[in-house]
Amino acid sequence: MSKDQDDFLKELLNDFKIEGAEHLQAMVNGLLKLEKDINSPEKKAVVETVFREMHSMKGASRAVNLMQIERLCMNLESVFHEIKNENLHLTKEMFDVFFQATDILDILLKELDNPNKSVSENNINQLGERLKALSTKSDVRPKSDYYRKESPKENLGEPLHPIGNKAIVEKSVSIPEEKAGNTETSFVLKEKEKITGKETVRVDTAKLYDSLRLAEEMITIKNKLKFHSDQLQVISSKITKRKRILKHDLPSDKEKEIREMEILRKYDDELTDAAKKIEKLQYDAGRTIDEMILGLKKTLLQPFSTLLALVPRIVRDLSKEFNKEVEINILGAETEIDRRILEAMKDPIVHLVRNCIDHGIESKEERLKLNKRQSGTLTISITDDSEQNIIITLEDDGNGIHREKLINSAIKAGIIKADAVDSMNEKEINMLIFASGVSTSPFITDVSGRGLGMAIVLEKITGLGGNIVVDSVALKGTKFTITLPQTLATFKGILVKASESLFMIPTTAIFKAIKITPDDISTVESKNTIRLNNEIVGLVSLADVLGIRKRHSSQKNNFLQGLALQLAQKKLVFVVDEVMGEHEGIVKSLGPQLQHVNNIAGATLLGDGKIVPVLQIAELISSAMGKSYTTDLIEVQNHENTAGEVQTRILMAEDSITIRNMMRNYLETAGFAVVSAVDGQDAYEHLQTDRFDIVVTDIEMPRMNGFQLTAKIKENPALNHLPVVLVTALESPDDRKRGMEAGANAYIIKSSFEKSNLIDTINRLI
């Protein structure tokens, strides 16, 4: 194959990936509508839509020789052909098979460029047989040749639109109602037919991002213009000063004095004129650059519907998983936001939806006991405000946040002290759910209960320049309110000096700039603090937190300069040597060699060419915990109990010698004392004669399996205080349920126990 042909095929596959994703999403939307009400008055129209999407996707996949996708679409189309012709009755039981098929289609689409496929030919064949079994229940069998090949006219009617890497105009065609059943007429686009709707242009987003990056680079030019303009003004002032000197110091040679003054006046006029021109250029360039960036950012806006289209399917699957009944309401999905923000928000939205269904909405039986509707409600609403912010609310009508469980988990995780709870308001307590290691779930699995998900949600949102607030009422429900910028704003920061070094602090993190006198400082629990808006806030030195050696400044002041930084509900005041004003620019990454440098998010370029580190606020505040500002600026050390510490003793039950040795090494490297048992019976005998802090056990073992061992431990009054972690290859929801019912505290999949934070789970449970 020639290079041109190879490039053309890649282009076609890129086109198909986009077109196929659109067909697939339309299929999923239709299936969700049908499953919700299979006897809806709109049933016939929805079936027709789903059938056409399957048919179109089949033809498009055939055109690019993707036979697995074509075969699966053909099997789906066969079933819907019978449903459409009323030869097959649609039932609720069918939808599990339909959604399995759409899941596999989704994987096949995402792995088009991946040589390592996760879906085997056997998977496709098995699912195909299940779909064929559904269609054979019909009273009338379809004509076999209908599924073997399509007529030439029909093939011509399913062209691949050249989208993806090519910017093209996409046109939508109105199909007359009386021709809706005519396959040939429905799929052939005729040039003379009336075009309706808006014409849209599809451009590869990579090109748009490149254009945006180039436009943002011009901010540096704008800054340089400003710098040089200021320099010209300085030079002009120096010349003026020089004229005064010459006027007084020049010898009494009047002719020479006049000649020198004329030269200086000429230079002065030229310099003044040049300064005015550069000032005008700076103003025009700045305005043009700002408008260009704003225009480019608008091209990257996308409606929330592209993200929220996934939510109904997620709600459907989670409802079945947790045996709950949940209705989803989505409002304002047409609201637009920067595509980059939309992509970054996918995981937080999915996690919050899961959190609402898993922890918030009660089971059907519990809701009926509470005189609630059997079906719970999850509402997602998107609005915008006058300041170009987007507000997302996720609200459920479940049981609300369990206050006592949340507080106890936070105390156990070391986030707060027990005696600090009384001074906390309701909002501060609710925000504890975002602290790493805090969870109200009594059961830990490889995907939930470890107190990490909500911490990641907060990190993602604040990283985008947004914030999140939680409101909860017991037995009434919980509401998450997220505020995000509509577009990723050009970086703005405050330039500060700390121990003669320059740093940039993002303005979004700055709560207030303050001057601090010695009288403002008070000591609380051996740490220096100040009162800020009737709130006691810790005081730290930026130089100390960053580990910079203090250089004493010759400048003497009767006050300290401080910046109050805020991340979610955390506030700290950082003392700096000098606040040098606001700066606008772009942040560059430090590159792979320096990507793990603590407290630094990247670097930005000043107008004079200096490179200044930009601080990472979440890490900075975390690094500042435990430190305090001291007048002699001696860094407070973080004392750790390492000498003489008693090791945690783990009893590990595992029948495979290979896995047993691997896990023993893994746990001992982490600092634990490990005793091994070859099966559940051996482990239980160890428990009769020795002391342990936690049990880590496999499930499938001879003599006594992990479920039985867990149950015996929890039934024994002398042992039931011991936490039990199941580490197993069994991944099904039923097995997890058995583990929870037996009394296990955590359930971790063996194939990925290192990635699933086994060490972190053990530390939390002891």
pLDDT tens-digit map of 478-526:
999 999 988 876 678 899 999 888 999 988 888 888 989 888 888 877 7
Same domain, 145 and 216: no
In a domain, 308, yes or no: no
pLDDT tens-digit map of 85-128:
888 989 988 999 999 999 999 999 988 888 888 888 888 889 99
Same domain, 604 and 678: no
Integer Cα distance of 192 and 15 in angstroms: 25
What number of other Cβ atoms are within 10 A of residue 670's Cβ?
Answer: 15
Question: Mean pLDDT for the chain?
Answer: 79
Same domain, 280 and 382: no
Structure token pair of residue 758: 């086994």
Number of structural domains in the chain: 5
- Residues with Cβ within 8 Å of residue 299, at least 6 apart in sequence: 203, 208
Structure token pair of residue 663: 């896990």
- The pLDDT score that the predictor gives to residue 3 is 61
Same domain, 90 and 215: no
What number of other Cβ atoms are within 10 A of residue 754's Cβ?
Answer: 12
In a domain, 634, yes or no: no
Range of the domain at 252: 207-300
In a domain, 642, yes or no: no
Among the ranges given (319-323, 591-595, 605-609, 618-622), the one the predictor scored with the smallest mean pLDDT:
591-595
Angle CA(532)–CA(536)–CA(541) in degrees, nearest 5? 80
Between these two residues, 749 and 635, which has the higher pLDDT value? 749
Cα dihedral 56, 59, 62, 64 in deg (nearest 10): -60
In a domain, 332, yes or no: yes
Q: Looking at residue 334, which CATH number applies to its domain?
A: 3.30.565.10
End position of a domain, from candidates 485, 510, 533 = 485
Q: How many CA atoms lie within 13 A of 314 on its CB side?
A: 18
Under DSSP, the state recorded for 160 is P
Same domain, 509 and 598: yes
Kindly list the distances between the CA atom of residue 512 and the CA atoms of 468, 494, 718, 753, in Å, as whole numbers in the listed order. 20, 11, 55, 44
Among the ranges given (263-277, 378-392, 419-433), the one the predictor scored with the smallest mean pLDDT:
263-277
End position of a domain, from candidates 450, 465, 485 = 485
Separation of CA 22 from chain center: 23
Same domain, 279 and 338: no
In a domain, 635, yes or no: no
In a domain, 630, yes or no: no
Q: Report which secondary-structure segment, H or E, holds 254.
A: helix 254-299
User: Which residue carries 């799929």 as its tokens?
Assistant: 187
Same domain, 567 and 686: no
Cβ(514)–Cβ(573) below 8 Å: yes
End position of a domain, from candidates 459, 485, 511 = 485
- The pLDDT score that the predictor gives to residue 409 is 86
Same domain, 67 and 174: yes
Q: Identify the CA nearest to 401 among candidates 451, 474, 348, 454.
A: 474
Under DSSP, the state recorded for 444 is B
In a domain, 309, yes or no: no
- The pLDDT score that the predictor gives to residue 632 is 40
Q: What is the largest CA-CA distance in the chain?
A: 121
In a domain, 629, yes or no: no
Same domain, 64 and 131: yes
How much is the pTM? 0.57
Q: Looking at residue 538, which CATH number applies to its domain?
A: 2.40.50.180
Same domain, 514 and 618: yes
Q: How many helices (H) and strands (E) does the chain have?
A: 25, 25
Integer Cα distance of 95 and 32 in angstroms: 9
Given a cut of 90, whether residue 687 has pLDDT beyond it is yes
Same domain, 263 and 357: no
Integer Cα distance of 208 and 165 in angstroms: 11
Q: What is the mean pLDDT of residues 28-47?
A: 89
Same domain, 328 and 476: yes
Secondary structure (DSSP) of 606-670? -TTS-EEEEE-HHHHHHHHTT----TT-PPPP-----TTPPPPEEEEE-S-HHHHHHHHHHHHHT
**Percentage of the residues of the chain whose pLDDT score is greater than 90:** 24
